[in-house]
Amino acid sequence: MRLKISTVGEAVLRQPARPLTSVEIRSAKIKQLIQHMRETMNDAPGVGLAAPQVGMPLQLAVIEDKQEYFAGSTPEQLAERERRAVAFHALINPVLHVTSPVELEFFEGCLSLPGYTALVPRARSVHVECLDQNGAPRVIEASGWYARILQHEIDHLHSTLYLDRMLSRTFCSVENHARFWKNKTAAQVKVALGM
């Protein structure tokens, strides 16, 4: 079942999400929510979806970065982004620790802000402690694009949107990104925009 995606301006996106209890995690209601979130994310398509994005202020997110999403990216772009396929999984009550002081800038979009993108600085690598969809503890060490996805989705759980982190001069429509910036590096974009 496809869920309605909350968009910028809806209060649920600006309210901190609450942790799930162990009883809730094991409930049929949460298991069904995870499945519906996966279907909604895949249908959009997107690589991540947080519960606040579907109107639920819960510390829950789903992630899946499929190989088929890489179509249209050059091998050089994939290497630069350190992007590889990530199997479906849920994050519950995640705690994120930045493990790399290096921030990388890439264009990022969001299902809650359809049609737009901007350069967003993010840490190259992170360590995440969370529970999986069965309530089992999980530790994730991630770098590159996967680390970016984790940071983006966990931000949603703390009422933060990429708009709060973006380099505002780079904010543009997806159409203009494809037209002017798709094959440019972040450094080239910043020079062209006088940054």
Q: Annotated active-site positions, please?
A: 153
Closest CA to 138 of 99, 93, 98, 97: 93
Rounded to a whole number of angstroms, the distance between the first and last alpha carbons of the chain is 44
Beta strand spans in 26-124 (E):
48-50, 60-65, 86-98, 103-108, 116-123
- Go through 85-109 and write b for each residue having 16 or more CB atoms within 10 A of its CB, e for each that does not: ebeebbbbbbebeeeeeeebbbbbb
Closest CA to 140 of 151, 154, 126, 152: 126
